[in-house]
Amino acid sequence: MQQSKNVYNFNAGPAALPSAVLDQAKLELTNFNNSGMSVMELSHRSNTYEEVHNATIDRMKQLLAIPDDYEVVFVQGGASLQFAMIPYNFLRDGKEAGYILTGSWSEKALAETKYFGTSYEVASTKNNEYRNIPTVTMNDVKENSAYVHVTSNNTIYGTQWKQFPQLDVPLIADMSSDIMSKPIDVSQFDLIYAGAQKNLGPSGVTVVIVKKELLEQANDDVPTMLSYATHVDKNSLYNTPPTFGIYMLGEVLKWIELQGGLHAIATNNEEKAAIIYDTIDASNGFYVGHAEKESRSLMNITFRLEDEQLEKKFLQEAAEAGFVGLNGHRSVGGCRASTYNAVPHEACLALSEFMKTFQQKNG
C-alpha cells in the first residue's frame, strides 16, 4: 500500500479537499449506505442516489440562503461551458450582453458571446494588469443590456469583488473560485455559476443558481442539453449526472455545516489570507503582491519576487519543502498561493515561515 505523504496543497484548482471528507468517502467507497456498492455504481434513478442528489441541492439552498424564487441545478462542461450557455439562453435579438473584465476568465466569457449575439465591455482593468476591481455604475451599462456578467474572484490575478455593482439589469456572476467561501446575498444576482473544483468538490460538476424570472425570459431555440430549462424541469436528472461528484459536493457541504457555516468559514479564510499577506507586506519589498490592497483576493494570493532567478529558486525550494501549487498561472508567471476553504491554517503558517526563512537567507 502506498504510504501517505504530507504536503501543503496550494493548488488553484482542482484544489485541496477537506481531509475529513476524503476519509468519509474512503470509508463508504465500496458500500455506500449499506447498498453493497459504491455510490458511483448506483443507478441515478435509484432512491438511494436520489436522496444524495436532493439532500445536496437542499444543503446548497440552506448554506447560501437561496431564496425560493431561485433554482439550483447541476450541469457538466465546467464553468467554461457556462460562458456559452449564458448568451445562448439569455442574449436575445436587439439586446447586448455587458461584461466587466477583471481577468482572463472574464475575457474568455466575453469571447464566447460572439457565437450568439452582440456584447460589449462594461469596464475593464486590463490597462492596470488586472490589479484592481473597477467601480461600476448604471452609467457604464447600456440600456438595452440583456445582462451584465461579472467574475467574483479572479483566480489568475488574485483580485476579488468586495461589493457587487447595483444595476437595473440582470447580474450574472462566475463564482467558480470563491463560492461558499463567505455568505453572499443571492438576491443581488439573477444567475450564479461555479465549477466545483475549488471550494465545492472534485471537478466534473458545475453548480448553477438561477432566478425563475430570468428563466422565463430564456430563448426557446436552444438545444436540449444546453437549455437551463431542461435541467430545471428534470431536477438535474435529464441525463446521467456526475453522481460521484454530486455525492462529494454533498459531503463538502456537510463539512461546511460542521465548521459552523459560511460566517465561520469566512472568518477562517480572512485569517488564513492575512497570514500570507502580512508576510508579503512585512518583507520590505522582497515579496511584492500583484493585486492592489483593497482588491486583494482571500482565495488566490498572487505575488512576485524581485528578480526572476530568485523567484525560480523560491519556487523550487518551496516545492522541495512540500509546498504544492505555488507557481503562478502559466499565462502570468510569478507565485500564487490558493487558500480555499479546505486549506488549513497550519499550511498558511508553514508557508509564512518558509517565506520568512527564504528571505533571511536570500534577502
Ligand X SMILES: Cc1ncc(COP(=O)(O)O)c(C=O)c1O
Least distance from ligand X to the Cβ atom of residue 220, Å:
26
Least distance from ligand X to the Cβ atom of residue 268, Å:
21
Least distance from ligand X to the Cβ atom of residue 340, Å:
11
Q: Does 79 bind ligand X (CB under 6 A)?
A: yes
Q: Which residue has the cell 435579438?
A: 93
Q: Which helix (H) or strand (E) holds 206?
A: strand 206-211
Nearer to ligand X, 18 or 78 (CB): 78
How is 72-140 classified by DSSP, letter by letter? EEEESSHHHHHHHHHHHHH--TT-EEEEEE-SHHHHHHHHHGGGTSEEEEEEE-GGGTT-SPPP--GGG
Least distance from ligand X to the Cβ atom of residue 28, Å:
26
For the purposes of burial, counting CB atoms within 10 Å of the CB of 82, is it exposed (0-12), middle (13-18) or buried (19 or more)?
buried
State which of residues 88, 90, 99, 105 lies at the interface with ligand X (CB under 6 A). 105
Nearer to ligand X, 35 or 76 (CB): 76
* DSSP conformational letter for 186: G
State which of residues 11, 70, 73, 78 lies at the interface with ligand X (CB under 6 A). 78
Question: Measured between alpha carbons, how far is 202 from 65 in angstroms, rounded to an integer?
Answer: 23
Q: Does 202 bind ligand X (CB under 6 A)?
A: no
Question: Measured between alpha carbons, how far is 227 from 85 in angstroms, rounded to an integer?
Answer: 7
Nearer to ligand X, 79 or 215 (CB): 79
Q: Which residue has the cell 528578480?
A: 307
3-state secondary structure 282-330: CCCCCEEECCCHHHECCCEEEEEECCHHHHHHHHHHHHHCCEECCECCC
From residue 90, alpha-carbon distances to 122, 141, 269, 329 in Å are: 17, 17, 34, 31
Q: Does 80 bind ligand X (CB under 6 A)?
A: yes
Question: Measured between alpha carbons, how far is 317 from 245 in angstroms, rounded to an integer?
Answer: 34
Contact positions with ligand X (CB under 6 A) in 108-167: 151, 155
Contact range with ligand X by CB under 6 A, out of 127-135, 173-181, 231-239, 283-291: 173-181
Q: Does 327 bind ligand X (CB under 6 A)?
A: no
Contact assessment for residue 276 and residue 337, using Cβ atoms and an 8 Å cutoff: yes
Question: Measured between alpha carbons, how far is 256 from 174 in angstroms, rounded to an integer?
Answer: 21
Nearer to ligand X, 159 or 227 (CB): 159
Residue nearest to ligand X (CB): 78
Contact range with ligand X by CB under 6 A, out of 23-31, 124-132, 174-182, 243-251: 174-182
Catalytic residue positions? 105, 174, 198
Least distance from ligand X to the Cβ atom of residue 299, Å:
9
State which of residues 11, 113, 159, 177 lies at the interface with ligand X (CB under 6 A). 177
Interface pattern 7-36 for ligand X (x via CB under 6 A)? ------x-----------------------
State which of residues 165, 195, 245, 250 lies at the interface with ligand X (CB under 6 A). 195
Nearer to ligand X, 56 or 177 (CB): 177
Contact range with ligand X by CB under 6 A, out of 59-67, 74-82, 262-270, 333-341: 74-82
Least distance from ligand X to the Cβ atom of residue 179, Å:
10
Q: Which helix (H) or strand (E) holds 9?
A: strand 8-9
From residue 154, alpha-carbon distances to 43, 105, 159, 166 in Å are: 37, 7, 5, 20
Contact range with ligand X by CB under 6 A, out of 18-26, 34-42, 72-80, 126-134: 72-80
The residues of the shown chain that bind ligand X, judged by CB under 6 A, are: 13, 78-80, 105, 151, 155, 174, 176-177, 195
